[in-house]
Structure 1
Amino acid sequence: MSSLRFHQIKAFALGWLAYASTYFLRKPLGVIKADLQRDLSFSTSQLGFLDTALLLPYAVMQMILGPLGDKFGARKTFGFCLVLSGMSMVFFGNFSNFFVFFALLFLNGTAQSQCWPNCTKGLLCWFSDSVRNSVFGMFGTCAFAGGIMGTMIAVYVQANQGWQNVYFWPSIFVMVMGVLVLMMFQQPDEVQAEVPGKNSASPTKGTAADDSMEKPRMIDLWRLPMIPEVSFAVFCIKVVRYCMYMWLPMFLLQSLNYSQSMAGIFSTVFEIGGVTGSALIGFALDKFYQGQTLRGITMFVLISTLGLVFFILTSSWGVLFNSVFLFIAGAFNAGPDILLCGTVPTELVEKHNKNAAVATVGLVNGFGSIGTCIEGPIIGFVAAYTGWSGMFYLMIILSAMGTLSTYRAASIHARVNQSAADFIGNIA
């Protein structure tokens, strides 16, 4: 085995497991909401604000702290944040106060905000541009496999040890992964390795593009073509995804009369679809939509929207129909989400400054994650006043808006490419 292949396998495997572990500290909240409501008399609105406590700093700190990874390196930033995330949640079950829960979840969200951008940078730097979507699609399964494992672990501990213990062992595991990342998650320049097939093009020194992007501000990144459209699409898609994460078990329990354990386990069908979609959509894009990634993503998000429509229309038809349409919705929501938060913004910014990858991924994923931090109170309000069906109608609308936003980004991309082709043709 060549030295390069060894480093690629190590970066992929360690990054996959490390990022998957972050969901061990996100998913339990959705599983134990009914327990918090029963044992601690938390209202639906309070449960929604606990979602916000976790997801608001996750969104905002990605944008504010995004340059840290570019400054200190992906390995150090990613590893330190994993350790801090585990430390924040290890004693969660020892408390019963809403404000203490809020504070611990806020710290957890802040620490996890820098995990995805730095994990993305640490992985993509090891692979050539020609296989970027395929590799990252496979890698993206970590988010959904981690969600499934996180839910299963929480359900098991909840049933056998009580909800108070659902965070303890996952926190220990995440801290161990953080130490391993600090020790082993090197980038090519740290081990003097060269990766063939990487686009090293950058603006000529002294040009306007170089001057504005040498130390990019958030507003500079936002002005790049297609970044606003991609960010808004991620916003819509993530609201849908996290709504399913945080509220689907409760919906299945209270609306479709599943048992508590069955509701927790069955809710992972959406994530099982996510694993499948993330793994296959990257290959499909590289094979059938080479150079037209955004056009392919538009089609996939549209299919996810239709999956949600048919799920709500057939929700009373039984487990089989529930499973099929949840699987479809998850597969075609998750795959686009991963790519729009990873390879797409990386590709867009590398044309201007390849050293701003972490900041740009953080901006796109952070803006998208604003949707996840406001979904809690919104869904709590909608479910309380319109019933659970209102929640799904809202998700259908948001998914459709995500489809339109990716379509607009694809249209801009096509125009930019056509203009470049015309310019080259005129020169020739």
Structure 2
Amino acid sequence: MSEEDIDVSEAGDLEGEDTVEQSDNQAVIKKDEEEETYQMSFSSYQLFLFVSCYLAYAVLLYNRKSFTFSLPFVIMEEYFSSYEIGLILSAQTFTYSISKFFFSWASDHYSPKALLAGGLFFSGFVMLAFSDQEDWSNIMILVAANGLAQGMGWPAVTKMIRAWFPPTQFGMWFAFLSTASNVVSGIGPVVAQGLGSSYGWRMGMQLPAALSMIAALIIPSSTWNAPSDVGYEDQLTMFGKTNGHWSDLAGSEFMMFLISTYCLLFVVKTSCQDWGQIYLLQERGLTAQSASSYLYAMEVGGLVGCITLGALTDFMIKRGFYAGTGKSPRLAAVQFCVAACCLFLNLFLFTIDPDTSKFYMTMLGFMMGYCMYGAISLLVTIAVEVAPIHMTGSAHGAIGMAACVGAVVAGFPINYIAKNWDWFTAFMGINFMSILTFVIVVAGKDINATFVQKGGPKKIKTVILKKAGAHF
């Protein structure tokens, strides 16, 4: 064979190798493009679901608070007495607490999106009927029914968010979801005032009721219980996922630790929120403007705290902080927030006088809200994460009951102390609770967070999202 033939043969081989290599590169590029397309598609589902849940919960919350937002016009028209208004609000709160506890369990066994749609529709229907009632007995029945319908919403929304977002994202998105309460509390009174001035207080209830019923028709097609509903594999697949019991939660030391911490912290937060202005006015001699700036700053601080702490702890989990230690970065953040809460509450008690600047009051209120709301949001996030995915609703229900107990303690008992002694004594009791909360948080940091079910530990299998690429 001549040298020319050898050169031609070698050139052919090299050309063939280049063709194969080029083909392989094109295949890799095509595969990467497909994975990116799938990833974007899954992210789009996540975003669409979150927006739907956020708006649905905001409408449901607005519907529940619509009577409260319309109270100035109700009182002005003297349609109800103060005693009757108190009964209405108490009846709704009582039935809502019971309903939320029950439907937290139900969300573990039935379709969350069906519960959310049902809650929206029945709540809207009931409040629409309420706004047209004259008979007192019918009003009380409808108010109680609205409280029952409202309990379907939050557990269902929490369940869906937990199913769609991994631990490295869940904290931030759950924190964003929690801001719906702040948004509604800020916008609701303004809308109610405009409607009440132009059309009467009943219109302030009829509009959110109608929006709630419309949202109920949209929710079934705009939300999904889990990624598997749209062809993706679920993030967590549980073996034997329907045999959880409330007794399993009660047997978890870590869950009891979270519940007790949450209850005490909720007493502190609610007391500062409900009675803080009165303390500043009557005990410290501040002006109404300075006292109101404290409350406004506390709400803003809470909004910022929920979002930033959720995002920060997500980042810490993603970067592997505390990896291999068995401890959660979220719990470390809770410890920091509770310690800071004790500090700012003492400043609130001992550094304020009539000459205190408005800037100081605003910053103090902001930091108190940041720490209190932030810690509360993180505790709920931890409770939902630590429980097996088939019992996240039940875990949230247990935390919700702790909040109800905390709200009750922050009401009449605190007011009773202030009435028989003074507001400073009442807030010293609140300060003691904040210190006790810090002691519990520090003492419980080493409690085993593993959830153990009857018959042995529950196995949890992490499943990679094949279509999404699992690049979290």
With the length of structure 2 as denominator, give the TM-score of the two structures.
0.71
Q: Give the Cα–Cα distance (whole angstroms) in 1 for the partners of residues 204 and 281 of structure 2.
A: 19
Q: For the Cα contact (< 8 Å) 1:31–1:249, is it kept in 2?
A: no
Secondary structure of 1:13's counterpart equals: helix
1:93 positional shift: 5.2
Task: Give unpaired runs (5+ residues) of structure 2.
Answer: 1-36, 322-327, 452-472
Matched with 1:129 is 167
Q: Secondary structure at the match of 2:233?
A: coil
Cα deviation for residue 222 of structure 1 reads 1.5
Could you say if the C-alpha distance between residues 232 and 172 of structure 1 is closer, same or farther in structure 2, counting changes exceeding 3 Å?
Answer: farther
Give the length in aligned residue pairs. Answer: 398
Q: Which of 89, 93, 108 is matched with 2:127 structurally?
A: 89
Distance in 2, matches of 1:30 and 1:395, equals 27
Question: Which of 321, 326, 330 is the equivalent residue of 2:360?
Answer: 321
The aligned counterpart of 2:441 is: 406
**Higher helix residue share:** 1
Name which of 113, 117, 129 aligns with 1:75. Answer: 113
Which protein has greater RCO, CA pairs closer than 8 Å, 6+ apart? 1
* CA distance 1:284–1:315, change in 2 (3 Å): farther
- 1:193 aligned residue (200, 211, 232): 232
The answer to whether 1:42 aligns with 2:82 is yes
Residue 293 of structure 2 contacts residue 358 of structure 2 at CA under 8 Å; is this kept in 1? no
Match of 2:288 among 244, 255, 258: 258
Which of 223, 227, 231 is equivalent to 2:255?
Answer: 227
Give the conservation status (yes or no) of the 8 Å contact 2:103–2:155.
no
Aligned amino acid, residue 103 of structure 2: L
Alpha-carbon offset, residue 122 of structure 1: 0.7
Does the C-alpha gap of structure 1 residues 266 and 326 become closer, same or farther in structure 2, counting only changes over 3 Å? closer
Flag the structure with larger Rg: 2
Q: Choose from 330, 333, 340 the match for 1:303.
A: 340
CA, structure 1 residues 266+24, in 2 after alignment: closer, same or farther (shift >3 Å)? farther
Could you say if the C-alpha distance between residues 150 and 269 of structure 1 is closer, same or farther in structure 2, counting changes exceeding 3 Å? Answer: farther
DSSP-derived class of the 2:446 partner:
helix
1:55–1:369 Cα contact (<8 Å) kept: no
Which of 395, 399, 412 pairs up with 1:364? 399
Look up the SS of the partner of 1:12 in the other structure.
helix
CA separation in 1, counterparts of 2:292 and 2:42?
41
Give the match for residue 17 of structure 2. Answer: none
Alpha-carbon offset, residue 296 of structure 1: 1.5
Moved more, 135-144 or 272-281: 135-144
Deviation at 1:8, TM superposition (A): 0.4
Aligned-pair identity (%): 20
Give the one of 212, 218, 237 matched to 2:246: 218
**2:50 & 2:339 partners in 1: Cα distance?**
30
Residues 237/50 of structure 1: CA separation in 2 closer, same or farther (3 Å cut): farther
TM alignment of 1:261-300, pairs within 5 A: 267-288=295-316, 290=321, 291-300=328-337
SS class of match (1:338)? helix
Q: What's the secondary structure of 1:410's corresponding residue?
A: coil
Q: TM-score, normalised by structure 1?
A: 0.77
1:112 counterpart (146, 150, 162): 150
d(CA) in 2 for partners of 1:125, 1:5: 14
Decide whether aligned partners of structure 1 residues 155 and 308 sit closer, same or farther in structure 2, where only a CA change above 3 A counts. Answer: farther
Which residue identity does 1:185 align to in structure 2?
T
Q: Work out whether residues 333 and 375 of structure 2, in 8 Å CA contact, stay in contact via their aligned partners in 1.
A: no
CA shift in 2, pair 1:170/1:250, >3 Å: farther
> How far does residue 227 in structure 1 lie from its aligned partner after superposition?
0.6
Are 1:14 and 2:43 matched, yes or no? Answer: no
Supply the distance in 1 between the matched residues of 2:155 and 2:403 (Cα, whole angstroms).
13
Instruction: Please tell me whether the aligned partners of residues 66 and 208 of structure 2 are also in contact (alpha carbons under 8 angstroms).
Output: no
Residues 31/375 of structure 1: CA separation in 2 closer, same or farther (3 Å cut): farther
What is the SS of the residue equivalent to 2:232?
coil
Q: Are the equivalent residues in 1 in contact too, given 2:118–2:152 (CA < 8 A)?
A: no
8 Å Cα contact 1:52-1:373 kept in structure 2: no
Identify unmatched segments of 5+ residues in structure 1.
204-209, 417-428
Would you say 1:141 and 2:179 are equivalent positions? yes
Aligned with 2:209 (options 164, 171, 177): 171
Q: Give the AA of the match of 1:223.
A: G
Does the CA-based 8 Å contact 1:134-1:286 persist in structure 2? yes
Q: Give the C-alpha shift of residue 186 in structure 1.
A: 0.9
The answer for the alignment partner of 1:424 in structure 2 is none
CA root-mean-square deviation: 3.8
Question: How far has the Cα of 1:13 moved from its partner?
Answer: 0.9
